[in-house]
């Protein structure tokens, strides 16, 4: 088996997710090469061939062109498994490459059992083992699912990749997240509201506990999408990544995108009516209770201390 790992480059920087790909190669014990649309001045530590296309020429986001570049690298490397991160870059590019290679794609892989990729089903409540039936397979890996043993080492041998392909898409630049307001990354205590709060008025309950604990309140994506809380309070992949001393998750079931943003917290308390909610996986303490009853009670008791 020969793997081709697809690195990512954004806003002028190589993305750290490339370590996850190397960790996967390590777990598979397979020979691997790497592909990157990036720049020679910012390549990963990697002992193998790096198929490098110039980002200045091909752009950071141009999937039809990146596809052609990657197909050329797959052919040169004689790779039979193409491995992406399950990210906005990876899930966008992977199916294009899979279709061109007549390859089977398995998305958001969290494990490999008996040589077969395992993917989550229904917000990670279930797992699914998949048997690809094609000569080449394409995988996207869930962030953080594979961890590198040791530091990456080596200097890659660079092979330049070119293409004449063009695309009708025009990339119009990046827009940064709104600045200002609360900075959750600096909070020592965060009490977060999930969909389980039921209605916007209940944000006050969550904010109340956060105040009693001298912290800030945060929110999961559905709460922010419903405009019950500001975007700068969103914890998760598309919001803030936080690591407070105490994280209290109220009515948050624990979608992987949320867990990715808070699992480095020192101590995690989850308050949920569902004992089996995935948030239990990362919680030091899971309180099985209705937050609308329990949180005000807890807040009063803490305030009375």
Partner 1 sequence: MNILVCIKQVPDMESKFKVGGDGLWYDSADLAWRMNEYDEYAVEQAVQLKEKTGADLTVLCIGPERVKETMKKALAMGCDRGVHVADDASYRKDPFSIASIIAEFARSKNFDLIFTGMQSQDRGSAQVGVLAAEMLGLPSITTIVGFSFEEGKITVKRELEGGVKAKVTSPVPALVTCQLGLNTPRYPTLPNIMKAKKKELVSVAVSELLKSEAVQETKAVYFPEKKGGGLVLEGDAGDLADRLIKILKEKTAVLA
The minimum distance between CB 248 and partner 1, in angstroms, equals: 9
Residue from 40, 155, 288, 303 touching partner 1 (CB under 8 A): that is 288
User: Comparing C-alpha atoms, which of 52, 247, 67, 281 is closest to residue 167?
Assistant: 67
Residue of the chain from 123, 144, 152, 207 that contacts partner 1 (CB under 8 A): 123
Q: At what angle do helices 63-77 and 90-100 cross, to 10 degrees?
A: 60
41-45, long-range: CB within 8 Å, 24+ apart, which pairs? 42/9, 42/13, 42/14, 43/14, 43/156, 43/158, 44/7, 44/14, 44/18, 44/152, 44/156, 45/151, 45/152, 45/153, 45/154, 45/155
Which residue stretch of 25-33, 50-58, 113-121, 149-157 sits at the interface with partner 1 (rule: CB under 8 A)?
113-121
182 binds partner 1 (CB under 8 A): no
- Interaction residues for partner 1, span 236-255 (CB under 8 A): 237-241, 245-246, 253
Q: How far is the CB of 229 from partner 1 (least distance, A)?
A: 13
Q: Does 107 bind partner 1 (CB under 8 A)?
A: yes
| Closest CA relative to residue 234, chosen from 200, 193, 269 | 193
Which member of 32, 124, 192, 220 binds partner 1 (CB under 8 A)? 124
Among 21, 65, 82, 189, binds partner 1 (CB under 8 A): 189
Q: Which is nearer to partner 1, 3 or 106 (CB)?
A: 106
Binding track, positions 67-86, relative to partner 1; x by CB under 8 A: -------------------x
Please give the structure tokens belonging to residue 279: 């948030």
Q: Which of 47, 125, 162, 303 binds partner 1 (CB under 8 A)?
A: 125
Pick the stretch among 19-27, 68-76, 129-137, 150-158 that binds partner 1 (CB under 8 A).
129-137
Judge whether 136 and 103 are in contact, CB under 8 Å: yes
**What is the DSSP code string of 76-101?**
HHT-SEEEEESSTTHHHHHHHHHHHT
* Contacts of partner 1 in 137-176 (CB under 8 A): 140, 167-176
- Residue 116 as a binder of partner 1 (CB under 8 A): the answer is yes
Residue 259 exposure: Cα atoms within 13 Å on the Cβ side: 18
User: How many residues contact partner 1, by CB under 8 A?
Assistant: 98
DSSP secondary structure letter of residue 266? S
Q: What is the closest distance, in whole angstroms, from the C-beta atom of residue 230 to partner 1 in the complex?
A: 12
């Amino acid at each position: 088996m020969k793997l081709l790992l697809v690195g990512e480059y954004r806003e002028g920087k190589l993305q750290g997710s490339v370590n996850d790909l190397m960790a996967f190669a390590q777990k598979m014990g397979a020979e691997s090469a790497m592909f990157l649309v990036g720049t020679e001045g910012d390549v990963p530590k990697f002992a193998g061939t790096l198929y490098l296309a110039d980002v200045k020429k091909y752009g950071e986001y141009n999937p039809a062109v990146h596809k052609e570049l990657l197909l050329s690298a797959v052919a040169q490397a004689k790779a039979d498994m193409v491995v992406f991160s399950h990210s906005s870059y990876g899930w966008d590019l992977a199916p294009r490459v899979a279709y061109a290679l007549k390859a089977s794609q398995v998305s958001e892989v969290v494990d490999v059992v008996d040589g077969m990729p395992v993917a989550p089903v229904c917000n990670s409540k279930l797992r699914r083992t998949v048997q690809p039936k094609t000569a080449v397979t394409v995988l996207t890996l869930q962030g953080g699912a594979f961890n590198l043993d040791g530091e990456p080492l080596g200097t890659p041998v660079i092979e330049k990749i070119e293409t004449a392909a063009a695309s009708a898409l025009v990339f119009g630049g990046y827009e940064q997240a709104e600045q200002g307001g609360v900075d959750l990354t600096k909070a020592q205590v965060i009490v977060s509201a999930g969909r389980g709060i039921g209605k916007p008025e209940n944000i006050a309950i969550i904010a109340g506990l956060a105040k009693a604990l001298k912290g800030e309140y945060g929110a999961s994506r559905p709460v922010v999408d419903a405009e019950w809380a500001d975007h700068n309070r969103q914890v998760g992949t598309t919001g803030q990544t936080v690591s407070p001393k105490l994280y209290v998750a109220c009515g948050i079931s624990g979608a992987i995108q949320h867990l990715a943003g808070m699992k480095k917290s020192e101590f995690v308390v989850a308050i949920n009516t569902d004992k089996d909610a995935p948030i239990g996986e990362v919680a030091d303490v899971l309180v099985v209770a209705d937050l609308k009853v329990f949180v005000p009670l807890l807040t009063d008791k803490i305030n009375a201390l």
